[in-house]
Amino acid sequence: MGAMKAIIAGSELASDLTGVNPPVVLDVRWQLSVAKTAGEPGFDGRAAYASGHLPGAVFVDLDAELAAPPGPGGRHPLPDLETFGAAMRAAGVSADRDVVVYDGGQGWAAARAWWLLRWTGHPSVRVLDGGLAAWAGEVSTAVPTPEPGDFVPAPGATGAVDADGAAALASSGLLLDARAAERYRGDVEPIDRVGGHIPGAVSAPTTENTGADGRFLPGGQLAARFRSLGADEGTEVGVYCGSGVSGAHEVLALAVAGIDAVLYPGSWSQWSSDPSRPVATGPDPR
């Protein structure tokens, strides 16, 4: 997978939207909010969408449509496929039409939508590099009513692993931890039951894959970063994070670098909820 198939610049999207077969555009604005996990009001993506979005974009609710309710599978388990498929079709997603997803600029939520669509078989999905902040065109408050799409999710087109698969990758391949380094070390843990990391996992904060403007670093620079972490030719690469959202962003960064990787969707929120699973702390993988 090349960089141009994973991300798209705002100028290129503006051109594509004026073409004969414009892409479906999905607005997936969302932010991880510790307050929200405590049952208090958090970031309201739908309100942000209502205040202005890319013309023709359809809002997608990450918590309701790109994840199942929190539980044994983690804080953002994989969504029910019927729910996800219905949401995508209602947004106008079809198998033969390009899709572009964007968020407020962090890229995590857009990457979650990108990964889910790729994992369930959509052949052409890209993330707007830099998110809404990278869009130089007009924004709209009009809510579109798209023609229903025909996309039917068929999981397995790209890779996902469960907890056992992630543990195996940490031993036989390269398992990257996309969270902040202090959470990896176990210095702090603001959300999950315990801090630390999966034994054998390598710290690789996804925030280091982008510049100050939220855009991804050049593909060659990203490839060099991942090689320095152990992503050698022939090495199977996997990623996890807190709940499978920022980890998708790292899988996207790896795609920009030309490296295929699998995601552990349950991630640390699932792993750490099981007291029988080992936890490593400190800066070293083991």
Residues designated as active site: 241
Give the DSSP letter string of the chain: --HHHHEE-HHHHHHHHTSSSPPEEEE------HHHHTTS----HHHHHHH-BSTT-EE--HHHHSSPPSBTTBSSPPPPHHHHHHHHHHTT--TTS-EEEE-SSS-HHHHHHHHHHHHTT-S-EEEETTGGGG--S--B-----PPP------TTSS-B--HHHHHHHHHHSEEEE-S-HHHHHTS--SSSSS--B-TT-EE--GGGGB-TTSPBPPHHHHHHHHHHTT--TT--EEEE-SSSSHHHHHHHHHHHTT---EE-TTHHHHHTT-TTS--B-SSS--
